[in-house]
Structure 1
Amino acid sequence: MDTEIDILGPMAVRRAGTVYHLQSAQARVALARLVLAGPEGVTREELADVIWPGALPPTWASALRTLVSRLRAFLAPMQTESANPVVKRGGRYVLALGQDTLVDVEDATRAVAAAHDALDAGNMTAATRLATRAADRLRSPFLSEHDGDWVAGWRERLSEHLVTALEIAARAAMGAGDHRRAALLAEEATDRAPARESAHRCLIAVREAMGNRGEALRAYQRLRRYLAEELGTDPSPATEAAFLALLGPSSPSGPPGRTPAARHRPAPFTGRRREMTALAGAWARAARGRRQFVLVTGETGIGKTRLLREAGATVAAEGGLLLVGRCDQDAVTPYQPLVEALDGYVAAAPDDVLAAVTPAFRGPLRLLLPSLGGPCPPAALPEQPILFAALTQLLRAAASERPCAVLIDDAHWADPQTVMLLRHLLRTTAGTRLCIVIAARNDLPVPDRQRAWAGLDEAMLPFEHVGEATEITVGGLDLAATTALVDELGITTAAGSPAHGPADNSAHRAHTRSGGNPFMLLEMLRHRAGPDAVPPAVARLVAAKQAAIGQDAGRLLQVAAVTGPSVAFDTMAGAAGLDVLAALDALESLLRTGILTEVTAAGSRHPDRPALYAFRHDVVRQAVGEQVSAARRRHVTSLQHRVPGTGHQLSRTGGERP
């Protein structure tokens, strides 16, 4: 019949439905010491030190013998056989437990390990059940009426197990889509272990998964401040990476069935030596006191955010102050990216950072920064010149401590006021150890681009001439970087062979069809149908682009997709039923957004022939074409035959066809 020994909480021994309790506190700690020693046992001195922490009584030897006799008498009725439950072997006391004896401490620690394995395997149900069971046990106090080094050591060890169980339960709840429960568990973990960075990273991940990036940033800043005040250290590289991962779009709350195991491994960073060299040069100049402005541009999915993250990791590793913000398309916070970046600095600073700010500017900062009580309604904010001066002075104070990098992602969504603030910062921070790096898409339709681009482009002009501004245009990965990416991720074909091996050249095919765009490239390589199919994520991206370009451009795009790899302007305009001016406007929109590009045959012998246009990415052409109905396809084809002079196209390789 099974025996259960509960050491956590009120100590008890259960057997055959009967519960037994030890009345003596000394007997309880002695039993716990013997149980947890296992088959190795303890010497009488070790047992005495636990029972009488500090100084031993003069008669401790005889008192210990009496106490062991009482334990034998207490445990004897619970033994299956009449064997002595506490034996002495080689001068050590050993508690002889039956194989069917269940000890709550051991059961809880085994459950934590099993929960960790279940989480790694993507079994959220098992991970939740095991971690919850372990946490429920481990929350109970351990020998609360006793002290001493051994007891304190075990309390610390069990506390570590409890926090691990809470982290696992939180991540399992997040994987199952129960974000509210995940947040409660992660918050309990950080409360119990305020210096444990993995618990804070768990809370950051939960808040970000809930779409609350502001709370995720504040969780990071609380940890950063605690480490600075209590331990005098900075967050670890893993925590800084979690912080940098908050750049870019917030993670949507995925469906309940989506688990960490179902997500892809993070792609390694490769093929960006030129861009990283340019960023490193700007940072080095800024660290020497020569303020820098870097504008990083590129199409959707090209890797701008990843580039910012890697640059941020370098800044953090070199001891720089890293401030991060992002623009949202529908931001409700005035000057959102700069407020986020500076609020993070204020929240994490161990001292009163406003002491370095002119008293007249402290009030406006308290109205604007969440960590100081803001933000208040925009109508209640001071006038713009006062706010600009206050934020500038705070940023200069931050950069006076150590070189500072401000990373701002998705700047294409910046509102005019934010652009004005950025321009003001650039004009008023000369001689500051400051590097402002801004990432923005260059494939947006004209109305969206006009919101920010005119101001950002104009802001760069006076600084480019003096070497204080750099624009980095991020292009597609080359084939070598693509191959390296495939190797590091271990991507194989359905047959199990390498994706770039002699038996299958999927990597080359995906690279050609994606133009080296990392997002499209990886989606194609990971798609079950292979690189010749359109992955669902790519199809959604293309649909979003189509929805933003307008009706005329959409018609032109459908004609181009149906016609083939390349097409002349007259062919597109005629088949789309557009007059020349409307078709030109639509074509220019498609060229500006990077969906189409003008192609020219190398060494053409016919310069009088009209220019030809092709999709920048063949997979985008396929995605558009798959959305064209059969009726429209027949209609476009019939119209093409009526348009004169359209028998001229380029081959897929770019060579001219007669």
Structure 2
Amino acid sequence: MVVRVRVLGHVCVDGPAGRAAEELLGGPQAQLVFAALALGRRHPVPREELAALLWPEQAPKSWEGALRGVLSRVRAFLGHAGYDASSVLRHRAGCYVLSLPEGTEVDVEAAEGALIEAEALAVHGAFAQARSRAHDAHEILALPFLPGLDGDWVNDRRTRWRSARLRALTVSVTTELHLGRTDAAVTRAVQLVDLDPFRESSHRLLMTAHAAGGDRAAALRAYESCRRLLDNELGVGPSPETESAFLRLLGGDAGSQPLPVPAPAARFTSPAPTQPPPPPTNPPHSAPGPIVGRTAELRVLADACGGDGGPQVVLVSGDAGIGKSYLLHEFALRAAPDALVLSGRSDEGVAAPFQPFVTMLRAHLADVAADALRERVGDLGGELHRLLPELPFEPAGLTQPAGPPDSDTERYRLFEAVAGVFRHAAAKRDLILLFDDVHWSSMSTMLMLRHVARALRGSRAVIVVAYRDTVLGPAHQMTRLIADLYRDLHPMHVPLGGLDVAALVELAHVLAGPLPPRAEEIRARVLRELSDGNPLLATELLRQWADVTNWSALAKSVPTDVPRRVRNVLRQRLLGLPQSTLEALTVAAVVGSSFDIDLVAAVHPGGFDTVVDALDDAERAHVVRGEEGDRPGRFTFVHALVRSTLYQELPTARRLQLHRKVGLALEARGDRDAHLPELAHHFRLACRFGEAARALDYARRAGDEARDGGAFEVAAEHYRLALEVLPMVTEP
């Protein structure tokens, strides 16, 4: 039987024993948890993530017991449908996984699939079939999602599915028009306008539908209604496209109104509560605001998935905070359901060899049994022991390398082993590799990326490389990589600039709500001047202005030193946090852009409980976010600018002292060999505090490790730093 799960309307699930209705869940909390697990099925959801969904403001002191109570109701609900609840809802390593039978159909995923099919059919002229599929999608998407519940996760999905519903109605109107069913087109267009009255394209469709039916007067009234609404509510006039349609009507040329054909949208799947399936390994689990003004960029990425003879390489560039990571996150969410999406990033300041590849390969191979590992990795798979020593190579009959790759030939074998894993994956389904913050990557990582991109020629692979172009110069290693990619693979380039005023207005509407026309104009203008369209900074400004009522006064106070004011935005945001939270975040900023809670607690004088409370405050304030996957105790700053603000505010002596304490705490953990680059980094910065000998030792050992792993450029950098430290080492 086909297992069906409904999360829109009345929550329910079909199973071997029949249908389990939402009443059996016993309340909205269990409904929320079940929906989150169902949308993220087969992927582990940390219990902390579920707790954050249930208690977004403040979890009770006994939240673990309360969460277990909610999950027991979910298990009983599944049991009523005839499932063995202990096997389909499993708890492992602090995470919960819902494993429903293969082929399970979730209503919203079925709706999104029908919508994608409808748009494709309409583009190819199959209007009757497109109309039917769009109707199917709209019937589902019109149902409410968890009525009575609120919170970022719930509202984010409501916004997403409302947008999908608008797309379904748009296809309905256009296909009805092409089929000559003008009355039905008018009915659907009215629904479209009612759903989003500020969307001018909806008004134009209504005008077109009336005109196609021969009712020119109704078409003119539709225009006038649109004009009045925009003028009264926003203080603006209609767009040139709307004015052009009006002028054609006014001239009595109603019959020449062009019949629209919807452009196909990017493919997408329903997002999981923590990360999209199949999972990019470390995407932001939820953006602090919506992604707006990036339709064209998303379409370029979507078009790359439809190319033949790949790989398609796409370069995404832009300044800090411009939205590169969120664009990749949104693209991953829209990937085809059967695509394999793998994501990796490089961290600033830590020369970890092949970091994004290790992350991707671990996500792809971690759960593969020994008998299937050889097929996945190929004959050279034993070389991967250098990157993933925890995999079962010997049971899989794979020979591990005897020593370090002392020659280019041996390093080539390592590169080929990595490329072979991706070639095997791309032979079976679409493969999407997302590389973020590549400007921080080591030269070894960039060389491997170049090799993999070349090796995937002719495969079903899309490689997206995101980097900060403002830090590049002629001598930067990223500049060389870009030149190599252009010479060999002719990549597409997607430069991200600042959002325009219209997109900023949309962002402000979603995050802060609409304002009267004059205030709306001032807010948009000041937002553009201060943020230069940077989404991160615009979001911070909107949060800072939450209590503003005198918008005219705000406009008069705009300084000419915009960069200084922008920096102050982040500083003021941080100063709104409790002092204990700021102290913990300061330690975390010294640790790095990502940090483990236990390491911060080892350095912070308040200890573990104080740090836990501080990070709870910081996460609620969208300063940090918990990372997903197998490390629920790991956190990441929401953006490099946030961490930089904290780090740069530290007095120099205090900053260097904290580096020493972090290094000592890392040493005390007992897993030094796993953190040699970090230890070398922290002790090098603490040389003036008598730690030159430690810095020299760890830099040399990190260099040896990188050399043995084939990352010769990384090794050279560690050895260079060791030589810098050497004069500061005093004889014992």
* TM interval, short-chain normalised: 0.3 to 0.5
* CA radius of gyration, larger in: 1
TM-score by structure 1 length?
0.44
Higher relative contact order (CA 8 A, sep 6+): 2
